[in-house]
């Protein structure tokens, strides 16, 4: 679960820092507009580095690029999830 949490919050924090350092959101008078801009930048940040990871995987690029992109997302490797094909097992686990 830690990789998922890190890969959620690191891009949000990066988006907030990028907006703060570049002044992208600070010319707006509304706090909600600034927040929306920060979240948009965070989403773009996540998408950029996730696409780099996927491209390196697909085209067998250098492993260090994939690791660097992952590290910039907060965790060097994408989270691994167990298969969700068996609905009966999922229901059983949810009742525990």
Position 91 pLDDT exceeds 90: no
State how far the Cα of 5 lies from the Cα of 14, in Å rounded to an integer.
14
Instruction: Give domain status of residue 91, yes or no.
Output: no
State how far the Cα of 40 lies from the Cα of 76, in Å rounded to an integer.
23
Instruction: Give domain status of residue 88, yes or no.
Output: no
Task: Please tell me the predicted confidence (pLDDT) of residue 52.
Answer: 92
Instruction: Give domain status of residue 13, yes or no.
Output: yes
State how far the Cα of 82 lies from the Cα of 84, in Å rounded to an integer.
6
pLDDT single digits (tens) 18-54:
877 776 555 656 777 777 778 888 888 888 988 998 8
State how far the Cα of 71 lies from the Cα of 51, in Å rounded to an integer.
14
What are the C-alpha distances in Å from 3 to residues 9, 33, 77, 78, 85? 10, 29, 8, 7, 22
Task: Please tell me the predicted confidence (pLDDT) of residue 2.
Answer: 75
Q: Which of the given ranges, 7-11, 49-53, 78-82, has the highest pLDDT on average?
A: 49-53
Domain coverage including residue 51: 2-80
Whole-prediction pTM value? 0.61
Instruction: Give domain status of residue 44, yes or no.
Output: yes
Q: What is the mean pLDDT of the chain?
A: 79
Task: Please tell me the predicted confidence (pLDDT) of residue 22.
Answer: 76
Task: Please tell me the predicted confidence (pLDDT) of residue 59.
Answer: 94
State how far the Cα of 29 lies from the Cα of 89, in Å rounded to an integer.
51
Instruction: Give domain status of residue 92, yes or no.
Output: no
Report the domain count for the chain.
Answer: 1
Instruction: Give domain status of residue 95, yes or no.
Output: no
């Amino acid at each position: 679960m830690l990789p998922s949490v890190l890969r959620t919050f690191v891009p949000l924090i990066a988006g907030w820092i990028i907006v703060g350092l570049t002044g992208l959101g600070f010319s707006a008078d509304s706090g909600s507009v600034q927040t929306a801009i920060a979240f948009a930048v965070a989403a773009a940040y996540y998408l950029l580095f996730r696409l780099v990871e996927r491209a390196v995987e697909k085209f067998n690029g250098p492993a260090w690029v994939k690791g660097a992109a992952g590290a910039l997302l907060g965790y060097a490797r994408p989270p691994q999830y167990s298969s969700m094909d068996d609905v009966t097992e999922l229901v059983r686990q949810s009742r525990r």
